Amino acid sequence: MKVAFPDPKNLPLEIPPEEAQDAHKMLLDLHLHYMKKQSDQNRAYLKFFAVFFLVSLALFLLQAGGVVSDFRIGTFIMGIGTLAIIVLNSFFISPQYDRKVDYCIQRGMELEKRYPSIVNSGLFQSYGQLETYSQKVILLSRLLPFIVITLLTIIAGISLIF
């Protein structure tokens, strides 16, 4: 059974004090859900790199066995396809989760500031302090496979020409 999580933008801006604890719990659940989806997206970039590497290695071994005439052609084509998937994923899927995680953090921080006696956890305050560090880690986990695959694809393409 799939659980449908509400969009955090649909939460009311003014929350009565008696509902602050429930709203905080729901925001925390939403935040954890979107963080899980965001980490799944980051793992997908590493999976794309692993598939590219394994296919390139398999093509190299097949060339050594005499099955494939030139592994660089397959590596170049696989690199272009993998880069296209990474770019589409970077522009259309990942930003949605990034925006929702940021919005949950902002709303949670507002809730913790507005009702400090009712919501005394401070979790979103700590998430807000770690936000720049986590953004750097997310950026690195997305850019590193992209850069390596780009370089290997360019090298394979140039070696085909010369």
Give the pLDDT of residue 5. 56
Q: What is the C-alpha separation between 17 and 138, in angstroms, rounded?
A: 35
For the cut 80, the answer to whether the pLDDT of residue 9 exceeds it is no
For the cut 70, the answer to whether the pLDDT of residue 64 exceeds it is yes
pTM of the model: 0.79
Q: What is the C-alpha separation between 42 and 95, in angstroms, rounded?
A: 12
Question: Which letter, b or e, does each residue of 14-48 get, where b requires 16 or more Cβ atoms within 10 Å of its Cβ?
Answer: ebeeeebbebbebbbebbebbbebbeebbebbeeb
Give the pLDDT of residue 117. 81
Question: pLDDT higher for 38 or 118?
Answer: 38
Q: What is the C-alpha separation between 75 and 155, in angstroms, rounded?
A: 10
Cα atoms in the 13 Å half-sphere on the side-chain side of 161:
5
**With bands split at pLDDT 50, 70 and 90, how would you rate the model's confidence at 32?**
very high
Contacts of 23 (CB under 8 A, 6+ apart): 11, 15, 111
Which tens digit of pLDDT belongs to each residue from 97-153? 999 999 999 888 888 888 888 788 888 888 888 888 988 999 999 999 999 999 999
Sign of CA dihedral 20, 26, 28, 34: negative
Give the pLDDT of residue 50. 96
Which tens digit of pLDDT belongs to each residue from 15-28? 788 888 888 899 89
Give the pLDDT of residue 7. 64
